[in-house]
Amino acid sequence: MGKYPDKSRVLAVRSPIFVPVNQVAEQGTEERVSITKKEYDHLKEVAQRYEDIKHQLAELKRLIFGSRSEKYVGSDDSQLALFEQQAGQPVEQREEISYSRRKGVDKAQPVRTELPAHLPRLTEVIEPHPIPQGAQKIGEEISESLEYKPASIYVRQVIRPKYAIKDQGIICAVMPTMPIPRSNAGASLLAHLIVSKFVDHLPFYRQSRMFNRQGVHLAESTISGWFAKSCELLEPLYHTLKRELLSSGYIQADETPIRVLDPKKNKTTHRGYHWVYHDPVNHLVVFDYQKSRYRAGPENFLGNFHGIIQTDGYKVYDELKIKDQIIHAGCMAHMRRYFFEAKDSDPDRANHVLELIKVLYMMEQFSMEKNHNDEEKLFQRNSALKVLNRIKDYIDQEIIKVRPKSPIGIAMAYALRQWPKILVYTDHPQMLIDNNLIENTIRPVALGRKNYLFAGSHDGARRAAIIYSFLGTCKLNDVNPFEWLTHVLSVIPDCKTSQLKTLLPQYCKIEEQYQVKQHA
């Protein structure tokens, strides 16, 4: 047995807070108290728990009151040469600054931007009164201001003359196909309703009130019915878009929650999910609504897919039955986020990794600016491997020195779990370094949640997924969503199944201009 048996072993700990007055030494400047090892371990655990809670509180304050940006400004602008420099070697930095200034401009006088030339002008001439006799016009002063007229609603009146032919009967032109049979809603109105809700985030009840102010009474239930019928019309085109996306060899995947009213649940809403799949090469996005976050959703959607799937590391993708036909890639932005969150609690280790990650992003930016081809990208990423190896070696060396549950410990553990997936992008030139683009496509859903709060039913959530898919693809291809929807809703009732692909936003060419003659 040692000098101190396990049950009677004591430790001297400097801790004035826990020192009873009657145990303070009468002599000496240090205050000491003897506690058992079990008590010491408990105090140490409490202190660690306190640090974790302190970090969580700081993160909550940052999310609620602070900036959401994760922009990291490093201390060194020469990161591209980090893997070539020796540790501690000083780097000479030179900066050339130039500027230009405008002379003769009064700073106190704001400069107005010119109004767009394509806007129609309503001219108003104001003559001086009275005009003296013999006055001669030598010029004029022109000033312009922007004015607004509420959106105009008109009635499309289709007149089909009838002709009687002797011994043949009566002939009349065929009525143009309406998007919704036996309805008085035209394609442009349906497009306006859909774009206003899913792009401008105006719920149908607000749009109904806006129409009422213009003297057009449209019940919210009527608008909802038109929306449902429009989605039924667009559903075959949605499946065409899905097949187009799955034919790609590289997609990004993510999911976002949506609250859904469910009659089976009283006093609460169902938490459903929009699973989002994005093709960054061909600029396509497809939303797929599922009632849960389980693997059944992506497993059914990706059944015929072969290629690379880039995700945030959600383990469901590793459990898919089709995992043998996919390559699961990781996201550098998610790995970086953990180190960014650990920056305050362990700045030395976190900043070291963040500096190296910044080098990787600078390499990708340089490659994009130079418009590198696949061969040049692979050569560039061979250099990126050197930086990645430095990150991996550093994490392997430091992870044994940090607490597993500390922010930096969690960041390092996540990086090691995802490391094989993180490296995938270095072997595939078409891949991006992170999953950020798909997160941008999800933002309209987040904005919508703040306005219409929830979907009215599971069918309503599925219809929303159809519209989000088309509007997201329009945005990625710089297509005006209102013009596209108006055109598609006008022609899709008569479109053959084999021609549906030509109506997708990336292929559709809106050449025909519809001019409606109004008759008194």
At residue 19, the pLDDT reads 43
Indicate the domain borders of the chain. 9-39, 331-434
Structure tokens at 459: 């069918």
CA distances from 304 to 229, 252, 267 (A): 29, 16, 40
CA distance 462 to 472: 15
CA–CA gap between residue 486 and residue 470 (Å, rounded): 13
How far is Cα 115 from Cα 500, in angstroms, rounded to an integer? 40
pLDDT score at 225: 93
Tens of pLDDT along the chain (520 residues) come to: 444 444 444 444 444 444 444 444 444 445 566 778 777 777 777 777 777 777 677 767 766 766 555 665 565 544 444 444 443 444 455 656 565 656 555 555 666 677 888 888 889 888 888 888 888 888 888 888 888 777 788 888 889 899 888 888 888 888 888 898 888 889 999 999 999 999 998 999 999 999 998 888 999 999 999 999 999 999 999 999 999 999 999 999 999 898 898 888 877 888 999 999 999 999 999 999 999 888 888 988 998 899 999 998 888 888 888 778 889 999 999 999 999 988 888 899 999 999 999 999 999 999 999 899 999 999 999 999 999 999 999 999 999 998 888 899 999 999 999 999 999 999 999 999 999 888 888 888 877 777 777 788 899 999 999 999 999 999 999 999 999 999 999 999 999 989 999 999 988 876 544 333 333 3
3-state secondary structure of 479: coil
Q: State how far the Cα of 305 lies from the Cα of 299, in Å rounded to an integer.
A: 10
Tokens of 72: 């990291």
- 74, 58 Cβ separation under 8 angstroms: no
- Identify which of 218, 156, 171, 170 has the alpha carbon closest to the alpha carbon of residue 193: 218
Determine how many CB atoms are found less than 10 A away from the CB of residue 251. 26
Token pair of 398 as six digits: 């430091």
pLDDT computed for residue 148 by the predictor: 78
Flag whether the pTM goes above 0.85. no
pLDDT for res 489: 94
| pLDDT at residue number 66 | 61
Show the beta-strand stretches assigned E in 126-231: 162-165, 169-172
Give me the sign of the Cα torsion angle 502, 325, 438, 429: negative
196 residue type, one letter: S
Q: Is 173 helix (H, G, I), strand (E, B) or coil?
A: coil
